[in-house]
Chains A and B, each alone.
Chain A
Amino acid sequence: MSMLKLPAHASLGERVWHYTYLVICGLIFLFLISPILIVIPLSFNAEPYFTFTREMLTFNPDGYSMRWYDRILTFGMTAPDAVRDSSWWKDVWNNADWISAAKNSVIIGVFSTLLATALGTLAALGLSRPEMPYRRLIMGVLISPMIVPLIITATGLFFFYSATGLAHTYVGIIMAHATLGIPFVIITVTATLVGFDHSLTRAAQNLGATPFTVFRQIILPLILPGVISGALFAFVTSFDEVVVVLFIADFDQQTIPRQMWNGIREQISPTILSVATILVIFSILLLTTIELLRRRSERLRGLSPG
C-alpha cells in the first residue's frame, strides 16, 4: 500500500512512522466498514444467533440458510405454511408485515421527495440570485430542519398535528418528511448553481425565450444532477426516518425503520439482519448513482476534465 511515495532520503524513523500511519488508517477504515459488511454473512446464519457459528466459519453449507429472508415474507401472513402458489404470494402482498411496511415507506418516501424537490429547487433558484433579500436569514430557517434534533421536531409536530387533525394521517407524515428532506435539496441544488454562468440565461432571453423556456432548456439541464442527488437525499431521509413517525403516525402506519425499531426493542430476531442486508445493498446502489451524477455534473460545468 505504498501509494504515498516516501522520498529516497527518508530516515528509518520516518519509514517506521509512515507504515505505522498506513496501518492506523487501515484500522480506521476497517472500523468504518466492518459494521456495514458484518450483517451480510450473518443474515445467512442457519441458527438464530448473531455471531458466526462453527459451521459458518468452516464454510459448511449447513451453517448457512435463507430462512431469515423467507421470514421477511412469511411474518404476519395468515397462512404462511400453505402451498406457495399465486394465492400464497397474494397473502404475502396483502398481509406480510415487512411488505406492508415497505409499501408505506415507499409511498411516504416518494411523495415527500416530490414535494421537497419541487419546492426546494424553486427556492434554491431564488436563493442563489444575488438580489435575494434576507438571504442569510431565510437560508438559515430553511436549513434548520436538518440541524434541529429530530426529537424536538417530533415533539412540536405532535402538538401541532394533534391540534390540527393531521396526526395519524399520511398527509401529515409526508409533509413532515418533506420538511426534513428540503435542506438536502437546497444544499445540493445551490451547490450546482455556484459558478452558474448567468450570461447563458441572458443570451436565451435576448434570443426571445420565455422565462419558462429558459428554465426548461437552459437552467434545468445544468442543475439536474444536483436536483436528482438532492431528491435521493430527501428520499433516503424519509426512508430512514423513525422518530417523527413514532410520534405522529397511527399504530398501523408501520414503515421499515419503525418495524426495525419495534423488532430490535421487543425481541431481536435475525430477520432484522436480512432486512439490514437488503438495505445495505440498497445504499450501495444509491451511492453508485450519486457518484455517477456528481461526475456528470462536474463534467457539464467544466469543473473537471471528465
Chain B
Amino acid sequence: MSTTAPPAPLLPSNAVDSTGPITAADGTPLQTALSRATRKARIRAFLLVAPLLAFVVLTFVAPIGQMLWRSVSNDSFSANMPALTAWFAENEALGSDGGPEGDGIPGEDAFEALATDLKGARENRTAGIVGTRVNYDLSGTRSLFTKSARQARKLEAPFKAALLDVDEDWGDAELWSVMRSASRTYTGDFYLAALDMQRNVDGEIEAVPENRRIYVPLFVRTLWLSALIAGLCLLLAFPVAHLLARLPLRYSNILMIFVLLPFWTSLLVRTTSWMVMLQSQGVVNDLMVAVGIVGDDGRIQMMYNQAGTIIAMTHILLPFMILPLYSVMKTIPHDYVRAARSLGATPSTAFWRIYFPQTVPGIGAGVLLVFILAVGYYITPALVGGSSGQLISNLIAFHMQKSLNWSLAAALAALLLAGVMLLYWLYDRLIGIDNMKFG
C-alpha cells in the first residue's frame, strides 16, 4: 500500500546548473530510484491479482485447455489395439486399390495383428471402447468388435480367412480406412466431423453427403437465431431505453424495476414461466381464444419449436440490451434534437440524423453482448426449443451425456469457443470490458 522509496526532494533552484545526474535523497540517481519504485509498485499490484489469477487458471483455463487437448487426442483405439496400430504406422495408406488383391483390404499380416489385438481386447474387456471409437466414424461397427472379440480365442491362422468367416464386414475397405484414421492418437478428424467432413477410402477429405450434414447447419441456425434474437431485443429495447432515459429520475427508477426484476430472477424460473404461458392450454392461448383471435381448435403451437426458443430467449436477454442502451442514452443531451427541430428538421429527420447516431455505441454494446450470450445458450432451448429450436450447445451436451463421443463434443465446443472469443475480443476493442456494468 505504501511507497517505501522516499519522496523525491524538491529540486534545488540551481539543479539545472549542477553537474552530474540529479540524485534522490539517499544519493542514488533519481532515474534509478524512480524506476525501482515503479517496479516495486508494479510487483505489488500484480501480487494482489496473483491469487485470483492462479485460481482462475486452475479452475477455468486449465479445464478448457484439457478440453482442447481432448478435441485433438483420442487414444481409445491406439491404447487398446497396439499391434494393429503399429501395423498401420509401418504400412502407408493402402487406398481403395491397395492391398495384395487391389481391393483396399490388407493382407494376412494386418489380420494377424487384428486377431492378436482382439484377443487382448477380450481379456481386458476393451472391445466395447474400441468398437465405440470406430463406430463414431462408421455406424454399426461396435457390435462387429464385441462379437469378434468374443470369438477371438478360437481364431487360428490363416487369420484373414478366419476373421472374414466370423464376419464378412472385416472385408470392407471403408472399415479399414476408418480404423487407420482411428489408430492415430493425435488427429484433426474430430474437427472434420464437427464441420461435416470426412476422409474417404483414399484418405482424402470430402464433405459428407448432404442428408447427413448435422453440425454446419446447426452452427448456421445458432448464428441466425442469435442474430434474430439480438435484432428483436434491439427493436424492443430501443423505445423502452429511450423512455427511461428521458423520464425524470423518480419515474424512471420505478419503471427500471420492470427491467431489473427479470434480470435478477432465476433463469429457470423465467423459462418455466414461458413454458406455462406458451403451452397450447396455457395463458397466452387461452387469452387469444377468449379474445377471439383463434378458435378453441386452432390453438397455436408456440412451444417445443423455434418460436419457443425465440420468444423465451428474447425475453431473457432483453435486459442485457436495455441496460447498455439506457446508459448511453442518458448521456445524450436533448438540446441537440431541440436545436435541430428549431432549425426546421422534421421529427423523423431530427431523430435519424441527430439522435440515432449518438445511440450507436449503446446499440453496438447491447447487440454484441446479447449475441455473445445467445450463441452459447443451453438451458432455455433444451426446455422450450423442441427439436427445431435446439442450438449448438444442446448438441455438445448430447455428445457429452448421451452418445459419449467426448472428443467430438470437445471439437464442437472448441469451434464455439473460437467464435465467442472472437466476439469477446471485438467487444473489448469496441466497448471495453471495463465499461460493462450491471444495474
Chain A residues with CB under 8 Å of chain B are 3-4, 14, 17, 21-22, 24-25, 28-29, 31-36, 38-39, 42, 49-52, 115, 119-120, 122-123, 125-127, 129, 131-133, 136, 138-145, 147-153, 155-161, 163, 175-176, 178-179, 182, 184, 187-188, 190-191, 201, 205, 211, 214-215, 229, 233, 236, 239-240, 242-243, 247, 257, 260-261, 264-265, 268, 272-273, 276, 279-280, 283-284, 286-287, 290-291, 294
Contacts and interface: CB of A to CB of B under 8 A. Distances in A.
B274 A159 contact: no
Contact of B66 (A151, A160, A191, A283): A160
A51 B289 CA distance: 13
B236 A31 contact: yes
Contact of B52 (A50, A182, A214): A182
24 contacts: A21-B243, A22-B243, A24-B239, A32-B259, A36-B261, A36-B269, A36-B270, A38-B277, A50-B275, A131-B41, A139-B433, A145-B56, A147-B424, A149-B416, A149-B420, A152-B420, A156-B66, A159-B63, A179-B55, A240-B267, A257-B267, A279-B265, A283-B265, A291-B260
A162 to B, nearest CB: 9
Contacts of A273: 272, 276
B410 A243 contact: no
Contacts of A52: 283, 286
Contacts of B56: 141-142, 145, 179, 182
Contacts of B436: 143, 187
Contact of B264 (A122, A260, A287): A287
Interface in B261-311: 261-262, 264-277, 279, 281-283, 286
Given A149-B416, A240-B268, 18 more contacts: A4-B246, A125-B48, A132-B42, A138-B49, A143-B436, A147-B420, A156-B66, A159-B406, A175-B59, A178-B55, A182-B52, A243-B379, A264-B271, A264-B272, A264-B275, A265-B383, A272-B272, A276-B273
B64 A152 contact: yes
Interface stretch (B139-147, B148-156, B162-170, B393-401): B393-401
B192 to A, nearest CB: 19
A131 B378 contact: no
B434 A139 contact: yes
Contact of A257 (B58, B262, B266): B266
B264 A39 contact: no
Given A142-B56, A147-B372, A153 B63 contact: yes
Contact of B376 (A152, A239, A261, A272): A152
Interface SS of chain B: helix
A34 B251 CA distance: 20
Contact of A50 (B47, B268, B281): B281
B413 interface: yes
B378 A149 contact: yes
Contacts of B424: 140, 144, 147
B318 interface: yes
Contacts of B248: 3
A201 B376 CA distance: 43
B38 interface: yes
Given A49-B281, A242-B268, A32 B64 contact: no
A249 to B, nearest CB: 13
B138 to A, nearest CB: 25
B161 interface: no
A122 B236 contact: no
Interface in B208-253: 236, 239-240, 243, 246-248, 251
A25 B262 CA distance: 16
Given A122-B51, A145-B60, A33 B258 contact: yes
Nearest to A191: B437
A159 B66 contact: yes
Interface string B19-49: 0000000000000000000100110111111
Contact of A126 (B45, B406, B410): B45
Interface string B306-344: 000000000100110000000000000000000000000
Contacts of A191: 437
A131 B60 contact: no
Given A144-B424, A175-B59, A120 B52 contact: yes
B157 interface: no
Contact of B275 (A156, A184, A268, A291): A268
Interface in B393-422: 393, 396-397, 400, 406, 409-410, 413, 416-417, 420-421
**Top 9 A-B residue pairs of the complex, sorted by shortest distance between their CB atoms:** A149-B376, A126-B48, A156-B63, A211-B1, A160-B63, A35-B273, A123-B52, A126-B49, A156-B67
B1 A36 contact: no
Given A126-B47, A126-B48, A151-B397, A35 B438 contact: no
Contacts of B439: 229, 290-291, 294
B61 to A, nearest CB: 7
A38 B239 contact: no
Given A29-B255, A145-B60, A240-B266, A122 B52 contact: yes
A35 B279 contact: no
Contacts of A17: 347
A148 B277 contact: no
Nearest to B249: A304
Nearest to B400: A155
Contacts of B360: none
